[in-house]
A and B are shown apart, each in its own frame.
Chain A
C-alpha cells in the first residue's frame, strides 16, 4: 500500500469535487482519487498494489441520503450506499424482486454483505489472478499493451462471453446480473447534477481497451438504481465450487412475465461467464410469445451461449452455462407466485 490522503465527503458536491480534482485523461480505475464505500474491494486492491490512488474520498457520510430502499407504486429505487445485507433481507424485495434478493444473498459472505454497498458491488473489479498479482507484467487491464497472461495461462475462472484478444477477465459480481436483467436505470451524480443511464450502458466490454471498465468519468458517483415494474417471477441461480462465499462459475438471472401460460416478457442475464454483466437478448427473443417447455429452455440456453469462446481450462463453462440457464428458466416458469 502506498501513502494516500483521506477525506470524508460532507455532501455530494464535495465528494464530486474531490473525486474530480486532479483527474487527467486516466480511466476511472486509475484516477488519482477513488471513492471509499464498504471498502471490501478497494482496500484489497490497494494492499495488493494494484490500485494506487493518491486520495481516498470516504462517501459513507452520504449514506443518510443515498441508502434508502424504496419499493412501492410498481417500481423500486435503491440507494447506492444501501448495504447488500439490508437489501437482501428486505421483505418486499424478496416478494417482488426475488432475483435481486437472491443475487445479493448468494454473494460473498455475511460479513462482506454487511459492509459492502450496492454501488461498490456493481463496480467491483475482476478476480483474474494475473490482474491481481502485480508480479505479472503482462496484463492489458493493469498495463495497457502489455499482453494477457491469462489467455494461455490458468484460466478456469475466466470468461467465455464478451471476450477480446486483449482480455478474458470475468466480471465477478452477482447483483449486476439482476440489475441488467430488470433494465435498471443507474442514477449518476456528477458536476452537472444527476443523470440516468440504462444499467446496460454502465460497463464496457474489454475490446481493445480493457483498462476502461465503465462509462463513468472521474468525479462521477453512482447514487441510486431504479427499476420499473414488479418482477415476482424471477430467480437467480448460481453454480459454484463451494456452498457459500464463492464466486459464480456460472449464474443466471431470469425474470419472466407470464400471462395465461404465455410468456409476455422475458429477461435472461448471465454471470460468471462474461467480461461484463451480460444480457442474452437473442435468447430472450425466443421466449416472447411462447409457452414454456423444456425444449424451449434448451433452445434459449443454446442461443445464450451461441457466441461463447472457451479457452483451455474454461470451455466447460459453455455447457455448464447452458444447463444453468435452462434450469433457471424452468425454476422461474414453474415458481408459485
Chain B
C-alpha cells in the first residue's frame, strides 16, 4: 500500500494532515446527534410493514401505557405541512411521498407514526407496542413484477433533457465488421453512512435550529422553511461534521419537517435517532438498473456504432433518474451513437443520489462491453481504449478541457504489472486459486456551482474563513484552510475554518464532486479581495487589481510562490494605513457559464451546476484507469480481490493525502459494489430484507489487502480558478467492470449482473 502522505508532483498542494484529524480521533468532533439539548423529548419512528395499501386503524393503548410516553403522532394528529417539490423540479425534497398525511402507504418502511417520550428507551419500547391494522394490496417490487409502468425519462424528468445521439447508429451497426450485443444488471444499493439519519430540532421563539447531518445546509434550511410555511431566515441548520454522505444527505427527507413540527407543538427540543434498518426506507438509495449495449467496430478496433439503452427503477410519484448515457455516449470516439433511458415505476421509496449516481451503473455496462469487444477482437483491452481515445466528445464535437485517460492506463498498467498477464482466459492460477487480471476506464464530470464566502484577516495573520460548506469526511476543512493560507500567505495553523452552518455564506450541495472546486474558488477570490484592499492602502498608485493578483505573500516571510521581483507586503503598514484592526471581505463567485439567476438561487438553496458535458464549447471530465487482480477458489468459488491499482488525473490535487484517501475509499467501494453490496427485495411484498449491516455486506480490512492509488500530474486552466476537478466520485466508477473483466480472465465466464457471488461462478 502507498504512503498516506504522497509526495506532491507538479500542480499538487502539500499533503498536510487533516484539519480535523485530532478532533476526530479523540472523539471531540461533534456530530448532529452529539449536540447538547436542553431537556429534549425523544422521538422514535414506527414504519410500515407493508409496501402498498392503507392503515385501517392503530391500537395505541399498549404503547400509551409505557411510562414516559408524551404523545404518539400519526396521520390523524400530525402537524400540517405544506407540499414540497422534488429537487429536480425546483424544490428541495428527495421524495414527494409525504408520510403522516393520510392513511395511504406508498412504500415499505414508510413513516406511519412517531412516538415521543421522555427517554429514547421509552420511545422505542412504546414504538414496539404500537399495533397497526392494514389493508394491503399487492405491490410491484421491481423490473420483474406485474403492475410497473415504463416510459422514456426524457419528458418526465426535468434534469434529463436529451437521449444523446449522433450519426446513424442502425446503419453503422448493421455494416460493422465486429458486433457485440450484451445486457447488464446492477442491483439496489444503500449508502449506509456510519452516522444514522438523525435529526434534532430546537425552537427559540419563532426561530428553528436543526441539527442534522446534511450535504446541503442551505437546501435543507429552505426546504424545511417551505414545508413549515415560515421565512427561511428563521431556520438554521448546523452540522460541523457529517458522518458520511455518499449522496444520502443531498436532498431533504420527510423526517426533518415532521420533527420540527412536533418540536413546535411540544415547545420543547425533539431528538430523533432512527435505526439502521429504518435508514433503508426513510432516505434514498441507488435503484437497480438494466442495460443493453450494442457496439460495432472495425476489425482494427475502431468503434463505428454504439448504442446504450438503460432502464431505472423509481417510485410511483417521482421520476428520479440518473441517466448515465450522457457520459457513456461521449467517452470514446464513435461517429454513430444512439441511446435511450427509461424509468420504470414501482411501489418503492424514491431513489436518489448515491456516489457517482449515473456513472456507476452505466460505466459498468459500457466498460464491460468494451472488454467483451476486446476479447472478440483478440486485442489487449488497454489498446482498444487507446485506439478509441479522443480529445473531442462525439455527440457535440466539443473538446475535452483535458483528458489523461491513456496516461492513467499506462501508469496504472506499469504499477500493476499488466505485462505479466497472459491474455488467454483461464490461463493463470496459483495453487487453489484461479487468477485473473482486469481493467477498466473510470471518469466523472468536472462540476462547479456558485458559492459565497467570508474571510477575515487580523494583523497577526490570524484568518477566519466562513462558508456553509460540508465536511462529509472528504477533507473540506483542510483544503479550504490550505487555499486561504496559500492565497493570503499566512501560516496554515493561523487559519480557522467554519463550515456546516446555514448562518454562514452559502455554498452548494456537497454533491456531484463540486465542493472543492466551488468552495476553494470562492475562498481564493475573497482572499484576493482582501489583498487588494491591503495593497490599495499601501500603494494606491499601482495598478491595483493586477498587482494584487500577481503578488503572493502578505506575511513578512516570503511565500514559496512569490515570484522574483515581488516585494512582500508589509502587513502592519497596510493595517495602519487602513486604520483598522481587521480586514473582512465577503464575496460571491460563480463559474463561467452559470445562469443569470445563480446568486439568487445560491441563497435559496438551489444549486446551479456548470460542468461536464453542459459547458459551452467544451466538456470537462476527470479520468482514471483501474486494474484489479481477482482470485477465485477452485473448490469454494469464493472470489477475492487482493489487489486494486488505480491511476487518476483530476487537475490540481489540492492535498495528495486527502485526495488519496478519497480515491482509495472509492476503489474499495467499487470492489464492494462488484462483489458484496446488494439490497435484497422480497418480490412478494416489495420489502427490503437485508436491511442491516450484518447482512448488507461491505468489505472488511481482510478483503482489501492491497490498494494502490497513483495520482498523475495534470494542469487544466479551462475549468475553474483553482484548476481542480472533483475526484470524490471518480474512483468507484470503473471498479465494477474491472472486476468482472478480471473474473472473465480468471474463469472464461462473463458475468453481467452485479454483485458477483460465488454461486454465479461455474468453474
Q: Are A and B a genuine interacting pair, yes or no? A: yes
Q: Is B697 an interface residue (CB 8 A)?
A: yes
Contact B636 A242 (CB under 8 A): no
Assuming the contacts A152-B684, A154-B690, asked whether A239 and B697 have C-beta atoms less than 8 A apart, the reply is: no
Contact A320 B125 (CB under 8 A): no
7 pairs, CB–CB < 8 Å, chain A vs chain B = A109-B700, A129-B695, A133-B277, A239-B638, A241-B758, A243-B700, A250-B636
Query: A residues within 8 A CB of B121?
Result: 1
Assuming the contacts A135-B49, A153-B682, asked whether A240 and B638 have C-beta atoms less than 8 A apart, the reply is: yes
Query: A residues within 8 A CB of B694?
Result: 127
Query: A residues within 8 A CB of B676?
Result: 241-242
Contact A2 B684 (CB under 8 A): no
Contact A244 B702 (CB under 8 A): yes
The complex places the Cα of A208 from the Cα of B604 at a distance, in Å, of 62
Assuming the contacts A1-B125, A243-B640, asked whether A249 and B697 have C-beta atoms less than 8 A apart, the reply is: no
Secondary structure at the A interface, as helix, strand, loop or mixed, is: loop
Interface size class of A (residues with CB under 8 A): 35 or more
Assuming the contacts A136-B49, A243-B640, A320-B636, asked whether A2 and B758 have C-beta atoms less than 8 A apart, the reply is: no
A-B contacts counted at CB < 8 A amount to 79
The 4 lowest CB-CB distance pairs between A and B, nearest first, are A316-B759, A239-B636, A243-B702, A135-B49
Interface digits, B631-659 against A, CB 8 Å rule (1 contact, 0 not)?
00101111010000000000000000000
Assuming the contacts A136-B49, A323-B635, A323-B636, asked whether A249 and B758 have C-beta atoms less than 8 A apart, the reply is: yes
Q: Is B689 an interface residue (CB 8 A)?
A: yes
The complex places the Cα of A1 from the Cα of B640 at a distance, in Å, of 38
Q: Is B699 an interface residue (CB 8 A)?
A: yes
Extra inter-chain contacts (16) besides given A154-B681, A320-B637, CB under 8 Å: A1-B124, A2-B125, A127-B695, A133-B277, A149-B682, A154-B690, A239-B636, A241-B676, A243-B702, A244-B700, A244-B703, A245-B702, A246-B697, A316-B758, A320-B759, A323-B635
Query: A residues within 8 A CB of B758?
Result: 239, 241, 249, 316, 320
Q: Is B718 an interface residue (CB 8 A)?
A: no
Query: B residues within 8 A CB of A73?
Result: none
Interface residues of A in 215-264 (CB under 8 A from B): 237, 239-246, 249-250
* Cβ distance A200 to chain B, nearest Cβ, rounded Å: 26
The complex places the Cα of A149 from the Cα of B685 at a distance, in Å, of 11
The complex places the Cα of A240 from the Cα of B702 at a distance, in Å, of 13
Query: B residues within 8 A CB of A136?
Result: 49
Smallest CB gap from B48: residue in A: A135
Interface residues of B in 693-716 (CB under 8 A from A): 694-695, 697, 699-703
**Chain B contacts to A: CB under 8 angstroms:** 47, 49, 121, 124-125, 128, 277, 633, 635-638, 640, 675-676, 680-682, 684, 689-691, 694-695, 697, 699-703, 757-759
Smallest CB gap from B125: residue in A: A2
Contact A153 B125 (CB under 8 A): no
The complex places the Cα of A244 from the Cα of B703 at a distance, in Å, of 8
Query: A residues within 8 A CB of B633?
Result: 239
The complex places the Cα of A31 from the Cα of B124 at a distance, in Å, of 22
The complex places the Cα of A157 from the Cα of B758 at a distance, in Å, of 13
Q: Is A332 an interface residue (CB 8 A)?
A: no
Smallest CB gap from A251: residue in B: B636
Q: Is A193 an interface residue (CB 8 A)?
A: no
The complex places the Cα of A240 from the Cα of B640 at a distance, in Å, of 11
Smallest CB gap from B120: residue in A: A1
Q: Is A186 an interface residue (CB 8 A)?
A: no
Contact A241 B702 (CB under 8 A): no
Q: Is A101 an interface residue (CB 8 A)?
A: no
Query: A residues within 8 A CB of B635?
Result: 323-324, 326-327
Query: B residues within 8 A CB of A239?
Result: 633, 636-638, 758
* Cβ distance B151 to chain A, nearest Cβ, rounded Å: 29
Question: Which single member of A49, A109, A316 contacts B128 (CB below 8 Å)?
Answer: A49
* Residue of A156, A237, A250 contacting most chain B CB atoms (<10 Å): A156
* Cβ distance B38 to chain A, nearest Cβ, rounded Å: 26
Interface residues of A in 144-159 (CB under 8 A from B): 149, 152-154, 156-157
The complex places the Cα of A243 from the Cα of B47 at a distance, in Å, of 34
Smallest CB gap from B49: residue in A: A135
The complex places the Cα of A320 from the Cα of B636 at a distance, in Å, of 6
Query: B residues within 8 A CB of A134?
Result: 128
* Residue of A2, A49, A135, A152 contacting most chain B CB atoms (<10 Å): A135
